[in-house]
Amino acid sequence: METNPRTKDESTTESRAKNLRCWSTASSAQCLRVEKPGEIHLFPYGYFEHAKHITNSGDEVLHITFRGCLITVTGKSLEPLCSALERLAVDCIRIISHPKFSKSEGLIERIEIRESKESGTAPA
């Protein structure tokens, strides 16, 4: 079995980048992973239906609809997230509260997941 050892600097930088980003992209994402405190939800892109980005006085909301489920993302600078979602390239979104975010990087402050009553499953 081969392993690919990483230098300490490589793994630290990669870990730090992962920990500081509210979303990540992949060229061939199969599903959207939504991380909330104590929860992980996976939404296959085959069930993606609609997304809507709303800007109102500096606050931004991104509504993402998968079959039978609405994900509401609230934060700042969410337009790049919406653009990546357009290409089905977002593989993970998560809430990160970090006081030293640059204004150019998007920030997710809240994620709500609501399942429709017609889906027959318990609310998330």
Of 66, 41, 36, which is closest to residue 51 (Cα–Cα)? 66
Interatomic CA distance for residues 44 and 13, integer angstroms: 29
Domain total of the chain: 1
Longest dimension (CA), the chain: 55
Q: In this predicted model, what pLDDT tens digit does every residue of 25-78 receive, in sequence order?
A: 998 899 999 999 999 999 999 999 999 999 988 789 999 999 999 999 999 889
Residue 73 lies in a domain: yes
Residue 60 lies in a domain: yes
Residue 122 lies in a domain: no
Binning pLDDT at 50, 70 and 90, where does residue 6 land? very low
Nearby residues of 69 by Cβ (< 8 Å), 6 or more positions away: 43, 113, 114, 115, 116, 119, 124
pLDDT of residue 16: 34
Give yes or no for residue 8 having a pLDDT over 90.
no
Please tell me the least confidently modeled range out of 32-36, 86-90, 102-106. Answer: 102-106
Determine contact, residues 62/51, Cβ cutoff 8 Å.
yes
The backbone torsions φ and ψ at residue 103, rounded to the nearest 5 degrees and listed phi first, read -65, -20
What residues make up the domain containing 112?
A: 23-116
Of 64, 66, 26, which is closest to residue 44 (Cα–Cα)? 66
Residue 17 lies in a domain: no
Residue 11 lies in a domain: no
Residue 124 lies in a domain: no
